[in-house]
Each structure stands twice: as C-alpha cells, then as structure tokens.
A = this chain, B = another copy of it.
Amino acid sequence: MITGKNYIGNQLSANGNKTFNTFNPQTNTQNTHTFTEANTDEINLAVTLAAEAFQSYSKKSGKEKATFLRAIADEIEALGDTLVEVYTSESGLPAGRAAGERGRTVGQLRAFATHVEEGSWVDASIDTAQPERQPLPKVDLRKMNVPLGPVVVFGASNFPLAFSTAGGDTAAALAAGCPVIVKSHPMHASTGELVSGAIIRAASTTGMPNGVFSNLNSSGIEVGQQLVQHPNVKGVGFTGSIRGGRALYDLAAQRPEPIPVFAEMGSINPVVLLPEALSSGAENWAKTYAGSITLGAGQFCTNPGLLLGVKGAGLDKFGQTLAEEIVKVEPTCMLHPNIYGAYESGKAIAISQDGLEVLADYNNESSANYGRQIVSKVSGATFLQNPTLHHEVFGPFSLLVECENESQLEEILHNLEGQLTGTIIATDSEIASNSAIVSALQNRVGRIIFNGVPTGVEVCPSMLHGGPYPASTDSRFTAVGVDSIKRWVRPFSFQAWPNNLLPDELKNENPLNILRNVDGVKTTDKI
C-alpha cells in the first residue's frame, strides 16, 4: 500500500536516486518502507502541472471546491485503522492522538468547504458608477479576493495530519483556489503518502485538474529550497523551527519576485502568575500546569515554556507544588530520536546556565526516546541578562522566573521575542490593576489567555494562531481557522466590466446570495 514514491500530480514517480526510511521511536527501529526523494525534474514537473492546473482550478466555484474538500475528508476517513497504525509507527504518538488529530483534520477540511460554499469570504465590494458626478464621472468598480497561484506547504513534525499533508495550510490553499505542492515531512512520509493518495483520489472523483496536488518526498533541504525558488510558486506555508522557517523566508525574500511565506515557528508561550490569584490558587494552578507542560511530551507549539511570577509565598507554593506534581507524570515517547536528542541537549544547555536552579527533574529510567520533564527556576535579573534562557527547548521543559516585583516582570515582557500565546493567571481585580503588564504581554503575542493554559488550539473563526516574529513571519495572518485562507488570496478589482462576464460573486443579481459591501452598505441585496 505504501510505495515510497512521490505524487507528481496524479502519477506516482520515483526517478531520483536518494532514498530514506522513516523511524519508529517507540520500538527504536527503522521502518521498512523506503522513500525516494523527488529529483529536480520531478520538482519542476510538479510545479508546471500546478501552474497549469491553476488556470482552471482558480475558476472553480465555491460549491465545486467544497465538494473536493469534503471528498478529501471522506477519503481520509476511509483509510481507517491503516492510517492510525502508520501514523503511530512514525510519530511515537498514541492511537488516541492519531484519531483526535484525524478528526481535527477532516473537521478543518469540512469547515473550509462550508466557508467557500457559502461564499461571502471573498469580501465582495461594489461601488456603482456615477456617470453624472462632478467634476469627474465615477466609474463602476468591483473587488473580490482571488487566489495567488501554486502554494508550497511544508508539513510539521509534531502534527503528522492536522498541520501536514492535508492540514490547515493545504486546506486553506485549496479552498482559496490555489493548487498545492506538499514537501512531505521525512519523519512521517508514509502517513504523508497515505493522505496524498486520499487527496489524489478525491481530486479525480470530483473532476479537479491534474496538478492541483503533488506530494514530494525529501529528507534534506534541497527539495524545499528548489520549490521555494521556483518562479511559478506564489506562496509558502510552513510549520516548524525558527531556523527552518527563517531560511525559507530568506530564500523567498531574495527571489527576483519575492513571494509571501507564512511560517509558524517556535514560541515559549509566557505565563504570568499574579500574586492574588496564587494566594488561594497556587496548588491548583501548579497541578494544571504540570499537565500542560507535559502534554504530548511537551511537543505542542503552545507549550508553556516560561512561567513568570513575583517572589513571595504564592510563587513559592506554586513552584513547590509544580515540582511535586510534574514528576508524577509518566513520560511519553517523543516524535523521533533526533527530536529526543535535541531535547536532551537543549535541557543540558539550559540547566548549565549560571543562576539556574532545577526544581524537578524526572530522572527515573525511561524507554528510549521518552521525553523526561524538567522544571527549573531563575531570578528575573538573571533571566533578563541571559538570552539563552529566552529560547525554546522543544519538549516537556519549563522555566519559572522569580521576579523582584511587577515592574521587573513588565520589563521581562518588553524584552521577550514575539510569541504565539501569553497567559495571565490573575483575579479580576488584579488584571484590571495591572494594565501595563497586560499591555506589554498583548504587544508580544497573538493570543492572550485568562486563567487557563495555552495548550489546546481551538479551531474556530475567532482563533489567532500566529503572532509577532518569530512566532510567525507575518503577524497579520493566522494559521488556524477559516481566516487562514487570507494568506493565499489577493484582492482584485474589475473596472467597468460587463455584468455578464463578471464572476458570480460580483454580478448585479448576486446569484450566490452572499454578503457584499455595496456602495458602502453591507447587504445581500441585488443591485
């Protein structure tokens, strides 16, 4: 069932001479399927097919795209237990997580289907002509969103389904009308091939053009580099490390024709713990955070890696309880020996820093590749002086920073890099009286959370998943939720265009019955 080949459009192809295998971190052994990397000819063919497919795919109606997206979801579900087995064998993640992530993936596809079928997302705007206007007549202008062109998607290591082959970036681009070329993640290439097959079958049964989707295997960086530099590629979606995302961003910015790269990268997701909330809640919050820090072996991009509080009895109690609770959690398998190794070395670097005190270190014997949690503590002054402590350690790691006072805490927030999330644990009155801290945190993050945990990214229209650099390369967009479609479209104006030749979205009759801005008024009325 797994061929190890690339999908160049709807054709399986393996003309390259570089191969690799995936790895099962649970059994600590290599998996049996061998994958062949896409070679330059295959890369170019995939992009050429995508550019050709764009000619017709960009003109598909919302209804047609919805049918395609729903067929992808159905085909993914039809893969059944095979998908779960392959997923777990390549990620070390449990079957329950696989099933949950599959649900999220098909849910996203269906949400985009509903979104483009309804159609108002194109932000149709119509200004009708005023031929009698003085001193100059006003022309008829009509604007709507149109797709950018072929989009390259780089899957994430930590979400083999929901942020990979048919994940949010792909779903958003296909919904927008952009063909997609996936640079498959080498850690879960089998999962990628299974899902790619589902997309290819769905494209075929719903009459989508060949080239609307391709899947390219690659274990190094060359395939991705070639894709991002190809003149017919018009956008890039990426989820992963700062180093990887920045490299792609730089390549794209250096092209003769720069293209947008939306990279969602690392974050340490600061949590601010205010004293009043801790005076009664320190133990409960510590227990909650012991769970959030270790959830999924700490491999979520919203993992709380930085806990900021003001010194005092409440923070002492929080730290003490967190230390007691977190070592009770059984470690779980990390995604890959390389990720486990990076975690071990990241931990070692962090705890070797001057002034750092380890509060809790799970050091019982564990299976290979299991991420053993660690919580350490440092003073606010030391943290401010040491940028190494500001960097993410990907895994079940968190650093408690004991600030001298609120103003030192605020100073730390001003000095943080951009973050996906910021959380405040506070009473209602505390949050009102600490507006400078709230402002400083808001300024550094994409989402702010009150009395909760940052892990758990709800897929809904009001979610912002992204944030100031380096949380993402462009804070003006989200990677999650239907608004993530905006990354892959551009507004386009028709001036004095004949009504019968306009797209349905802009016709006088409003045949799609969408909400439009007509002469400054939001309405579904005809003109």
Contact = CB atoms under 8 A, between A and B. Distances in A.
A474 interface: yes
Interface stretch (A60-68, A218-226, A459-467): A459-467
A496 B450 contact: yes
Nearest to A517: B461
A142 B447 CA distance: 10
Contact of A442 (B148, B487, B491, B492): B492
A456 B498 contact: no
A431 B498 contact: yes
Contacts of A55: 439
B431 A462 contact: no
B462 A257 contact: no
B148 A460 contact: no
B448 A464 contact: no
Contact of A493 (B464, B501, B522): B464
Contact of A447 (B260, B442, B449, B492): B492
A92 B249 CA distance: 42
B461 A127 contact: yes
Contacts of A139: 452, 456, 458
Contacts of A493: 446-448, 462-464
Contact of A473 (B254, B258, B476): B258
Contact of A462 (B136, B143, B253, B460): B143
A452 B475 CA distance: 38
A510 B451 CA distance: 24
A55 B438 CA distance: 12
Number of identical protomers: 2
A122 to B, nearest CB: 12
Interface in A98-121: 120
Nearest to A428: B498
Nearest to A118: B520
Nearest to A249: B258
B260 A476 contact: yes
A393 B100 CA distance: 58
B142 A495 contact: no
B257 A249 contact: no
A488 to B, nearest CB: 9
B463 A475 contact: no
A154 to B, nearest CB: 18
B136 A446 contact: no
A332 to B, nearest CB: 19
Interface string A115-156: 000001000011100000000101101110010110000000
Contacts of A372: none
A240 interface: no
Nearest to A124: B462
A496 B517 CA distance: 31
9 contacts: A55-B439, A127-B463, A143-B464, A428-B498, A450-B494, A461-B517, A462-B493, A475-B490, A476-B489
Interface of A: 55, 120, 125-127, 136, 138-139, 141-143, 146, 148-149, 249-250, 253-254, 257-260, 417-418, 428, 431-432, 439, 442-443, 446-452, 456, 458, 460-464, 468-470, 473-478, 483, 486-487, 489-498, 500-501, 515, 517, 520, 522
Closest 7 pairs between A and B when the two form their complex, measured CB to CB: A253-B253, A464-B493, A141-B462, A447-B493, A449-B495, A475-B490, A143-B462
Given A463-B493, A464-B493, 17 more contacts: A120-B522, A127-B458, A136-B456, A138-B458, A141-B462, A141-B463, A143-B463, A253-B258, A259-B469, A428-B498, A428-B500, A446-B491, A447-B493, A450-B495, A461-B517, A475-B490, A483-B491
